[in-house]
Amino acid sequence: MGEDGIHVLHVDDDPSVTDLSATLLEEQGLRVATETNPEAAAERFDPAAFDCVVSDYEMPRLDGLDLYRRLRPQFDHVDFPYILFTEESNERVAAEALNVGVTGHLQKGGPEQYDRLAGRVESTTTQYQSESGDLHFEALFDNIPDPAAVVDLASGAPVVRRINDASLSQQVGQEVGTTSAEQGAIIAIPAYNEEATIASVVLGAQEYSGQVVVIDDGSDDNTVRLARKAGATVLEQPENRGKGAAVRRAFEFAREHDEDALVVLDGDWQHDPREIPALLDELESSDADIVIGSRYVEGGRGDTPLYRRVGQKVLDAATYLGSGTAVTDSQSGFRAFNETAIEQLDIQATGFGVEMEILRSATDNNLTVSEVPISVNYDVPDANTSNSFIHGFKVVDTLLNIIRDRHPLLFFGVPGLTLTLLGLGYGAWTVTLYQTGSGFYIGKALFSAVLFMIGTFAIFSALIMNMLSRQIQNFQ
């Protein structure tokens, strides 16, 4: 794109169309060169001289797609703007055009269609120039001979946005001799669209382990590329399956590599990788099979919002009810596991309820749990505040399922008993009204009967399910 505007090459075998195009598009500030012979256009085209090509489809000797294929080897990038401007809308042609890489397809018409064409040319060319500039910068950055990083300081804490190939080469050539690496710990980082922070988390974790694994849960941003550049082993899920599925894959990887310990922390920079040794030291020095990094034990730090603290207390109590394990931070994703826990934990949850299910499985397998204080950063770059509420709903759903399966008397029996008593009470009130001469209210009588029957059914269901649950647990 030159200083004098966007330069367009318009190819159409009808001179009246190219003349009209030159007039109307130049009124929009574009610079238009025209050709009525597609073969002459192929010889004339120079990517340094033109920013966009607009072409008719039906032309002698070369149609619009043939011309695109002829010009494509000269494009400086595969996304060079090329727009078909055709007489009639043809779904087959439009589909083929998109398949071969044509930028867009517009139908000819009156002056308003030329306005649309001008808008399409401007938007696609501007986007292409912007992306080309990014690619040019990335190529220059990656070819810097010395290790280099782009660091964002906007959030207060330094966040690595990009590292170059020389940084990766240096990391591969270094020996990691830290305490954690000697312990054989794998550090696993579940990640979904964490391009803003993943490089920082990986680089921080590599200070304490030679085996950092990122489990990418179907990200559609640059998470995978940045994680690999930072030196992590990346396990890619083909689609977004949820955090639980990513954590389960981390356990499978640890079992396959027969490691002594596994540390799991989130990829969104909420957890400080420098606190990894605290979890591993507790795992090694205590009898704990699982160590949880807690915001709420003495020494824990982090300006936890009030709504989180209240919600956490409720979830902790409910988690104890569902799993039988009492902890202060049941939803913490910063955890360490020893070899016994790696082998015995059974993880079935796919979503955010995985932390709660781990505690349930720990209880089932008589594993011991300990907590150590950690700090938490809530000033996460590009964070979405609605995710906390979505997380909460998913956790509650998992919790209810666990209580239903493990404590059916509580889940079904208590509501059933409540409805039964309400039905009896409402029925007694209805009878009292009748006896005092107020009349017999058929609606009230039916309502009390329905409450009583539903409550009774729930109680019997709870008794049967409790018996089945105990038999299953004894069998296991």
- Our count of domains for the chain comes to 3
Do 413 and 368 fall into the same domain? no
Do 325 and 200 fall into the same domain? yes
| 48 falls within a domain | yes
Mean pLDDT of 365-383: 80
Residue ending a domain, choose from 115, 142, 169: 142
| 401 falls within a domain | no
Query: What is the predicted pLDDT for the residue at 384?
Result: 44
Q: In what order do the strands lie in the sheet with 185-191?
A: 233-236, 212-216, 185-191, 261-264, 335-338, 290-294, 369-373
Do 290 and 166 fall into the same domain? yes
Residue ending a domain, choose from 121, 142, 163: 142
Indicate the range of 276-280, 317-321, 348-352, 465-469 predicted with least confidence: 317-321
Do 252 and 348 fall into the same domain? yes
Do 441 and 357 fall into the same domain? no
Do 361 and 418 fall into the same domain? no
What is the per-residue pLDDT across 277-308, written as a single tens digit (0 to 9) for each?
Answer: 999 999 999 999 999 999 888 877 656 655 55
Do 96 and 189 fall into the same domain? no
Percent of the chain whose pLDDT exceeds 70: 74
| 365 falls within a domain | yes
Q: What tokens appear for 70 in the block?
A: 């002829």
Do 269 and 159 fall into the same domain? yes
pTM of the predicted protein model: 0.51
Do 367 and 436 fall into the same domain? no
| 176 falls within a domain | yes
Helix (H) or strand (E) holding 465: helix 442-475
Query: What is the predicted pLDDT for the residue at 161?
Result: 59
CATH number assigned to the domain comprising residue 231: 3.90.550.10
| 175 falls within a domain | yes
- Would you put residue 7 in left (φ > 0), alpha (ψ -120 to 50) or beta? beta
Quickly count: other Cβ atoms within 10 Å of residue 173's Cβ.
Answer: 7
Domain range holding 26?
7-142
Do 166 and 138 fall into the same domain? no
Return the residue matching tokens 């591993």.
280
| 400 falls within a domain | no
Do 107 and 45 fall into the same domain? yes
**Highest mean pLDDT pick, 80-89, 257-266, 343-352:** 257-266
| 251 falls within a domain | yes
| Higher-pLDDT residue of 331, 19 | 19
Indicate the range of 67-81, 83-97, 160-174, 299-313 predicted with least confidence: 160-174
CATH number assigned to the domain comprising residue 27: 3.40.50.2300
What is the per-residue pLDDT across 204-241, written as a single tens digit (0 to 9) for each?
Answer: 898 888 899 999 998 888 889 888 888 899 999 888 88
| 2 falls within a domain | no
Q: What tokens appear for 69 in the block?
A: 């294929």
Burial state string for 205-244 with b = 16 or more CB within 10 A and e = fewer than 16 = bbebbbbbbbbbbbbeebbbebbbbbbbebbebeeebbbb
Do 266 and 385 fall into the same domain? yes
Residue ending a domain, choose from 119, 142, 165: 142
